Structure 1
Amino acid sequence: MRSPAMDYSDQPAVCEQPATFFFGRDLLVRIVDRPMQHPSANMQEFLPNYAVQGIVAPAATIEYFEGANFDRFVSRRLTDDIKMSWAGDLPQALTGKAYSLRWTGRIVAQESGPTRISLIGKGALRLVLDGKTVIDGRSAASRADDANGAVSFRGHEGDAFFTVDLVLERGRAYDFRLEQRQETPDAVSLWFEWITPSIRARQQPPASPTVPVVLPAGRDWYDLHSGKRFPGGKTIQADATLARHPVFARAGAILPFSEGVDRSGPWPATLAIRIYAGHDGAFTLYDDAGDGDGYRRGEASRIALAWEDATRVLTVSARQGHYPGLRARQGFAVTLIDGSGRDQQRVLHYEGGPTSLRFGSR
C-alpha cells in the first residue's frame, strides 16, 4: 500500500485527495468514506488535533488527581488528543484508585454554523465552554474495565452519552474546561467528539452512489470492473455500490487474477493475466511451495512478463529458480484490455522457456 505522494508528489490534486491509496504502483483504490445508501446514525468524529490548543501553551493541559473530587494532585501533561480509551492513559499512580481529570485549553472552530458537541464516557462529566457550563451529567454506576495495560475500550459499554448543540464561528477560539470524576477505579472511558456542518453533510447519502476520483496525469486509467478507459489528469465520478468498489488500473499494468486460493493449496493450473493497453509495462510473477520455509533458502520461481505497447507483444521470459513440487507446465489465459469494449484473449501453455504472444491491432 502506497501513499499517492510516493509516486505523484508533483501532482498536488492527487496527493491531497482524501481516502485514496495505491496498491503497488498499478492499482489506485478510492475508499468509500461516506454512506451511499442510508444516513449515518453515529456520525460524530474526534476533534482533530489542529482544532485543540492550549491557553498558554501550544496544546491543551490535562491534570490528574487522586480521588473522585480532585482530592490530591498527581501530575499534568500537554495533549491535543482529548480522549481516554485505555488503561495506559492514566498515570500508574492512579491504578486501582478513584480519580479525577481536568482538561483546559481552547477549541478552534474549523467551520461556521451549527455544531453538535458530544461527551461519551463513565463517571461524572462536565464541560464548560467560554465560561458557560454546557454539559453536566453522570453515567450509571461504572464498572472497572479490567485495566491491566491492555486496551479496555468495549464499544461504549456502560458509557453515558451527552450532547449540546451550538453555533460556532470559524476561526474563533473557545476556552474550555472538561472535567471527569470517576469513583470506580480502573474504569477508563472518555471521548470528546463533534458533528460539524461538513461532517453532517458528508454523512448523508448523495443523490447518486458515486465518489470523486482524481486520476493522476501521465497515463490512462481503467475501471477494474468495467474495463472503461479514462484519460489521466481528470477527476471523474466513480460508481461506489456494495458490489463495485472504485479501483482503477493504470495503462501498462500486467495483473494476474485467479479464483480464491488457499495460500497452502496448489498453484492454479491456469492463471488469468490482464494487460491494460496504452503504455509499456512489466511484472514479475513469484511462486513458492506455499508452506514450509524453503523460500528462505531461495526455493522459489520467478517469471518476468513484459508488455510492449507499440508492437502489442507480451514477452514471457524463462523461469528463474525452482522449488520442490513446481508444476512444469503453467497455463496463462491472457486478456488484452484497451477500452474499446473488444477485449482480445489468448491462451498460452507455458513450459518454462522464453515465449511471446502477439495481439492484433486496435
Structure 2
Amino acid sequence: MTDCDFLVVGHGIAGATLAYVLRQRGHQVLVYDPGQPNSASNVAAGLMNPVAGKRFALSWEADELLPFAATFYRKLEQRYDQSFFTATPIFKLFGSLEEQNAMLARNAEQPWGDFVASLTTTDPGLPGVHAPFGGAWLQHGGHVAVREMLAALAAEGAREGWLRSETFDWAQLVTDPTGATYAGQVRARHVICCEGAAAVRNPYFKWLPLTPNQGEVLDVECPGLSTTQVLNRGAYVVPVGGTKFRVGATYRWPPFSDGPTAVGREELAARLTVITDLPFVVTGQRAGVRPAVRDRRPLLGPHPVVPALSFCGGYGSKGVMLAPRLAVLLADWLEGTAEIWPDVSLWRYEKLRLASVG
C-alpha cells in the first residue's frame, strides 16, 4: 500500500501548481495524469491579461492575482533554471472611433487602477501593426510558456516517482471519514480533482455547472511584426521567439471537433489579417477543451458531503493567472489555516447538488 497525504488527479495548470505548492510544504503528494499533449493547458498561449473582452472589463481580482502569479512563475524559473514567464505590455487595439470614445470615457472613471498605462488615439507606429484608431497600453501582464513549464514539472515527477502517467478510475476510489483508498493500492488523507473539462464526467462532481468550450490556436511565422508586446484585437498575438507568434483563440460550444479544424484556422487567420498587413505562414495548429464555469468564477474547495474530496478548477481561459493564488488558498485550507473565498466555493452551487440527488 502506497501512503500519501494528498492524491491529485490531473496535472494541467490547476493540478500542477497545487501539487507543487503542497510538495514545497513538505507533504507527500501523488499525482495521476494521462499525459494528453492536447490538453487545454498544453494548448494555451498562457496569456495573463488584466483587461479583457470588448467591454475592456478588469479581470476578476486582478490586483491580487497578477502580481502573485508573476512571483510564483519567477520562482519556478529559478528552481528549474528555465524561462517560463515573460512580463510584457499588451497593446489592445481600438477597432473603431466608437470603441475609442467608449474607452476614453471609461478611463476618466479610472476603473482599472494602474493596469492601463496609457491610451493613444492615433496609430502608434508599431512595425507591421494596423492600428488607425490607436489603442490602450496595458501593463503588469505577460505570458507563460505553459507547455514547457508543465513538462519541467512532469519530468521531475517522473524522476522522483510522484507522478503516475495513468488515467484515474474514480470507480475504484473508496472514501471514509479519515481519507480514501484507491484501487486497493493507494491510501491518501485527501483527494483533489483537478481534471479540467473531464470533470463533467466525474461521479462526485458532475453536478457542478462546468460548461466546457473548445479553443484553437495557431502558431505562425510573421517576419517584420513587432515583438515587443502582445497584440490584442479580436485575437491575441503572443510573440514566442524570433519571428514566431501564437494566435488565438476560438471559442466553440459542444459538439466538439476531434482536434483542429479548417474553420478554426480560417477564423484565426482572418483575425490576424485585421491586426497586420504583413504576410504570415501558419506552422502549427492545436485545439483543446477549456473547463469554463457558468458564472465565470473558478471552482475551489471541499465536496459538501464527502470529507475526503476537494475540487480545483473551472479556470476557463484565465488558468495561468488564477492557478498560483488559488493553489495556495486551497493548500492553506487543507492545512486548516484559511477559509475558501465565497466567490469560488463549491457551496454556491449546493442547490444544484441537491437537485442532482433528487
Normalising by structure 1, we get a TM-score of 0.19
Larger proportion of helix: 2
Larger radius of gyration: 1
Q: Which has the higher strand share?
A: 1
Normalising to structure 2: TM-score of the pair?
0.20
